[in-house]
Amino acid sequence: MSTIPIDVRAASEKDADQLAGVQARAWQGAYRGIIPGLALERFIGERDGRWWQRVLRRRMGTLVIDFDGTLAGYATCGPVRRRIVPADGEIYELYLDPDYQGVGLGARLFNAAAKHLATRRLKGTVAWVLDVNEPAVAFYRAMGGQPLAKSGEVFGGTRFEKTAYIWR
């Protein structure tokens, strides 16, 4: 029997095109029927390979799950963006390709991102999630996140409530 290696590693510029593909599929899976279609397609279209190359050059914390050369998901993380929450670190995004969801890879990526933040001496982690994204809310709760703060965000003219989950 052969085994397929699964690696969580820092992303490099070579990953840009695959990251754009993973993101497009994950966003369509998570937000189709929730975020108005045109707005969703615009967001996805903006985040092409060149967009990812610029992100990766800035050396923000970007981790990928590498499934024997195929990217299954990614997380971006770094210093907290909105100081209204008592945490130094933030997971900005965490998305898995739909084909790879539900088998423990999200938990693995989450733990790697939390460790990445802790090794940079960022104490406490926060992640914002849209309330309508019920699978993601269930995931963050299963990972031990506590709801802490509310805010809102407008996509395509529709306002969505979002909640900050915290790990102290």
Ligand X SMILES: CC(C)(COP(=O)(O)OP(=O)(O)OC[C@H]1O[C@@H](n2cnc3c(N)ncnc32)[C@H](O)[C@@H]1OP(=O)(O)O)[C@@H](O)C(=O)NCCC(=O)NCCS
Contacting positions for ligand X (CB under 6 A): 26, 29-30, 94-96, 101-107, 129, 133, 135-136, 138-139, 142
Identity of the residue, 57 or 158, whose beta carbon is nearer to ligand X in the bound complex: 158
Is 105 within 8 Å of 65 (Cβ atoms)?
Answer: yes
The C-alpha atoms of residue 164 and residue 6 are separated, in whole angstroms, by 30
| Rounded least distance, CB 130 to ligand X, Å | 7
| Rounded least distance, CB 162 to ligand X, Å | 9
| Rounded least distance, CB 16 to ligand X, Å | 19
Q: Give the DSSP letter of residue 33.
A: T
Identity of the residue, 86 or 144, whose beta carbon is nearer to ligand X in the bound complex: 144
The residue number with the shortest CB distance to ligand X is 106
Identity of the residue, 122 or 164, whose beta carbon is nearer to ligand X in the bound complex: 164
Residue 164, CA distances (Å) to 15, 67, 90, 139, 152 in order: 29, 30, 10, 13, 11
Is 127 within 8 Å of 159 (Cβ atoms)?
Answer: no
